[in-house]
Amino acid sequence: MPINVLVTGAAGKMGRAVVKAVTEADGMRVVAAVDPGYADSNPPTDAGTLAGVGEIGVSIDSNLVAALRRAGPDVTVDFTRPNVVMGNLRKVLAEGAAAVVGTTGLSEADLAELERLCDDNDTSCFVAPNFAIGAVLMMQFAQTAARFMPDVEIIEMHHNQKLDAPSGTALRTAELAAAARIGASTDRTEKETLQGARGGDLEGIKIHSVRLPGFVASQAVIFGGQGQTLTIRHDTLDRSSFMPGVVLAIRNVQSLPGLTVGLEKLML
């Protein structure tokens, strides 16, 4: 039996790519697509046609609960907005569907709530701040490098429509590097003549966020050592880069108990 998938944010940039990827992948199909803003302001639209993959017989819907009950998906995929994702997931998990989540901006408290919701409803949830396999490798290499070169800063670069800063990937990279490093030289006093010039700070690791048209998602992790620097950089050139990771998560989420965070859990 194919895995039946409901896509939330189906008219968005990532949602359209997900509709296309699921339609083209073996063993899964889109059974419902939800995007209230789009559905309420457009004539009935086929999600496949909008995604450029041809008609799939699934109209973009405005009501998530009605779509969940009508289509009975095995898995939902959420690429929406930081301020709506938790509301969507409460509905999805309460209906017993498994969830794959790419929307960024989830807090530790949100993740704890998702874990509880999975337990209460005997279902599962997979969250990844970055579904690009190269970005996951960048984070793993950065974690290794931080053990030997503990002085590190991160520059992340995204398109100017991105709503949250810093990126989920930058936060995750900083967390991994902070946990791995020993003995960084952070004990100096600095004066910012322009507030914010030194970026955000996660456990002593500075994060700088660039927002410009032209970028999709890029990140450089820069390590400084005696007489040398090391830069580990990843560039997402196209949103299709996220799709092998999303399809992998859709295939696996139902067999993972509770909450799982990070694509590396499926790769390494």
Q: Where do contacts with ligand NAP occur on this chain (CB under 6 A)?
A: 8-9, 11-15, 34-38, 79-82, 84, 88, 102-104, 128-131, 162, 242
- Least distance from C-beta 12 to ligand NAP, angstroms? 2
Task: Answer whether the bond into residue 73 is a cis peptide, omega within 30°.
Answer: no
Would you say 128 or 139 has its CB closer to ligand NAP?
Answer: 128
Q: Which residues are catalytic?
A: 158, 162
Cβ closer to ligand NAP: 92 or 145?
A: 92
- Least distance (Å) between residue 124 CB and ligand NAP: 17
Amino acid type, 42: N
Smallest distance from ligand NAP to CB 246, Å: 8
Q: Write the DSSP symbol of residue 156.
A: E
Sorted by sequence, the CB contacts under 8 Å of residue 168 that are 6+ apart come out as 104, 105, 106, 129, 130
Sign of CA dihedral 125, 121, 123, 36: negative
Minimum CB separation from ligand NAP for residue 149, in Å?
26
What own/partner pairs with CB < 8 Å and gap ≥ 24 does 62-67 have?
A: 62/34, 62/35, 62/36, 63/34, 63/36, 64/8, 64/34, 64/88, 64/91, 64/92, 65/91, 65/95, 67/6, 67/32, 67/33, 67/34
Angle between helices 168-180 and 133-148 (to 10 degrees): 30
Residue keyed to tokens 């520059």: 155
d(C-alpha 249, C-alpha 3), whole Å: 12
Q: How far is the CB of 170 from ligand NAP (least distance, A)?
A: 12
Cβ closer to ligand NAP: 89 or 146? 89
Residue whose CB is less far from ligand NAP, 150 or 168: 168
Question: Between vectors from CA 175 to CA 170 and to CA 176, what angle results, nearest 5°?
Answer: 100
**11 or 152: whose CB is closer to ligand NAP?**
11
